[in-house]
């Protein structure tokens, strides 16, 4: 099953928002979205002329008139709250501003409206406090990936796979998976990499399929990521705050999506995921981003997903070995045992400043240290 079954309209909206950035590579973006540059520029022109309605197939929806009276304004606030039950007054104010409301009310006014109609408690407003956030300096420097807790559907269980850009909080993927196996995750990531390109690094926890309980955490999935030139990091064991943005995203998914509807099966879940993901990326004001949606901070990576993997190039002076089953290589007359995830791959031994100590590399990633003196003592 495809992890992303987006409508043509939602794809067009995502395309034009990404293409509007000054740093956008138009031809690369058109190739990622499988359209011609001529078509891409057509949608940009229609969007500039008519907004989102211009992206439909020549249908014309009447534009909403700005709210004129206090009573109409209050009703509009309540309508927006009903459409987005978890969004507070700051987010709702952004929506009113986008609609062209001329006499834009203060956040405190919107809060009072919601309190007066029993939509929020006064204590909840007082409890809201900003906090210090840390993020990467640009998109695609780090992606966070994790499975949200699985839940039952009629055909088994749904395992939501979440992939988030650290800088922009852009949700690159929200997939309704049947399991948490390597093949499933790799298929989802292939779809994401094809659309958005490759990140510099990915951060994951220590669970399968990208981690193990042993100190050496490499798995077939992380070996594949390294082969693509993606750095791999793991959070500290028992410290979920290392992936705080992904954990917060999970909470948002739970509050705004999973707690508000029953998902019957995986296709139904994926359809709901896709619809909600569009809202999250393109519409929802994000508190950590000065109340702009994530898509305004995101740009696809210039590093495209390769159709064929290039050969691995190691440095001159490296001693290259191929890892044999069950995870062994031969070095200076000794058998060196390494993680079996690298079986069939070529690795390089590189001397360090310490006499007799070698660093073992796979692609650009150091994966182990080998002390020749310890090998001799074991012989």
pLDDT tens digits, 163-184? 999 999 999 999 999 999 999 9
- For 311, how many CA atoms within 13 A lie in the half-sphere containing its CB? 2
Is pLDDT at 356 greater than 50 in this prediction? yes
Tokens coding 107: 């956040």
Cα–Cα distance measured from residue 6 to residue 275, given in angstroms and rounded to the nearest whole number: 8
Region 90-115: mean pLDDT is 78
Cα–Cα distance measured from residue 86 to residue 72, given in angstroms and rounded to the nearest whole number: 22
* Residue % of the chain over a pLDDT of 70: 87
Is pLDDT at 377 greater than 70 in this prediction? no
Helical segments of 228-366, H only: 244-256, 266-282
**Which residues, other chains included, contact 105 with Cβ-Cβ below 8 Å and sequence gap of 6+?**
73, 93, 96
User: With contact defined as beta carbons under 8 Å apart, do 3 and 175 qualify?
Assistant: yes
Cα–Cα distance measured from residue 200 to residue 235, given in angstroms and rounded to the nearest whole number: 17
Tokens coding 108: 């405190």
Cα–Cα distance measured from residue 165 to residue 174, given in angstroms and rounded to the nearest whole number: 12
Reported confidence tier of residue 49, pLDDT bands at 50, 70, 90:
confident
Whether the bond into 246 is cis, omega within 30 of 0? no
Region 28-47: mean pLDDT is 92
**Which residues, other chains included, contact 277 with Cβ-Cβ below 8 Å and sequence gap of 6+?**
171, 174
Is pLDDT at 239 greater than 60 in this prediction? no
Q: What is the DSSP letter of 236?
A: P
What is the separation, in whole angstroms, between the first and last Cα of the chain? 52
Q: Give the residue from 65, 71, 91, 64 showing the smallest Cα distance to 80.
A: 91
What does the pLDDT look like over 112-144, one tens digit per residue? Answer: 777 777 776 654 444 454 444 566 789 999 999
Q: 3-state class of 324 per DSSP? A: strand
The CATH code of the domain at 143-297 is 3.30.420.10
Cα–Cα distance measured from residue 63 to residue 99, given in angstroms and rounded to the nearest whole number: 9
User: With contact defined as beta carbons under 8 Å apart, do 315 and 348 qualify?
Assistant: yes
What does the pLDDT look like over 253-270, one tens digit per residue? Answer: 999 999 988 999 999 999
Q: Which has the higher per-residue pLDDT, 88 or 357? A: 357
Q: Which has the higher per-residue pLDDT, 154 or 109? A: 154
């Amino acid at each position: 099953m495809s992890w992303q079954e987006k409508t043509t309209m939602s794809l067009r909206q995502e395309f034009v928002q990404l293409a509007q950035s000054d740093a956008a590579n138009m031809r690369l973006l058109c190739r990622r979205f499988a359209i011609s540059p001529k078509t891409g520029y057509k949608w940009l022109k229609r969007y500039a002329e008519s907004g989102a309605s211009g992206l439909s197939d020549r249908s014309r929806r009447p534009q909403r008139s700005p709210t004129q009276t206090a009573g109409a304004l209050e009703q509009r606030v309540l309508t927006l709250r009903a459409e987005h039950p978890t969004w507070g007054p700051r987010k709702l104010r952004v929506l009113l501003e986008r609609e062209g409301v001329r006499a834009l009310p203060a956040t405190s006014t919107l809060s009072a409206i919601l309190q007066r109609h029993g939509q929020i408690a006064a204590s909840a407003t007082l409890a809201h406090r900003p906090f210090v956030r840390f993020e990467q300096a640009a998109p695609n420097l780090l992606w966070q990936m994790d499975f949200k807790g699985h839940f039952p559907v009629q055909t088994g269980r749904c395992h939501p796979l979440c992939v988030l850009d650290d800088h922009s909080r852009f949700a690159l993927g929200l997939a309704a998976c049947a399991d948490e196996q390597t093949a499933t995750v790799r298929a989802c990531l292939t779809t994401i990499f094809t659309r958005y390109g490759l990140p510099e690094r990915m951060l994951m926890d220590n669970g399968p399929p990208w981690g193990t309980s042993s100190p050496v955490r490499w798995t077939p999935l992380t070996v594949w990521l390294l082969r693509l030139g993606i750095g791999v990091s793991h959070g500290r064991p028992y410290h979920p705050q290392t992936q705080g943005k992904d954990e917060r995203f999970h909470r948002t998914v739970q509050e705004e999506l999973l707690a508000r509807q029953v998902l019957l099966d995986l296709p139904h879940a994926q359809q709901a995921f896709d619809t909600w993901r569009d809202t999250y990326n393109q519409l929802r004001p994000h508190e950590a981003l000065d109340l702009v949606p994530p898509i305004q901070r995101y740009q696809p990576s210039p590093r495209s997903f390769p159709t064929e993997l290039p050969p691995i190039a190691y440095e001159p002076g490296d001693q290259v070995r191929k890892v044999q089953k069950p995870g062994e290589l031969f070095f200076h007359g000794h058998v060196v045992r390494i993680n079996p995830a690298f079986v069939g791959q070529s690795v390089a031994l590189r001397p360090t400043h310490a006499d007799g100590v070698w660093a073992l590399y796979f692609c650009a990633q150091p994966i182990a240290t080998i002390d020749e003196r310890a090998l001799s003592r074991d012989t």
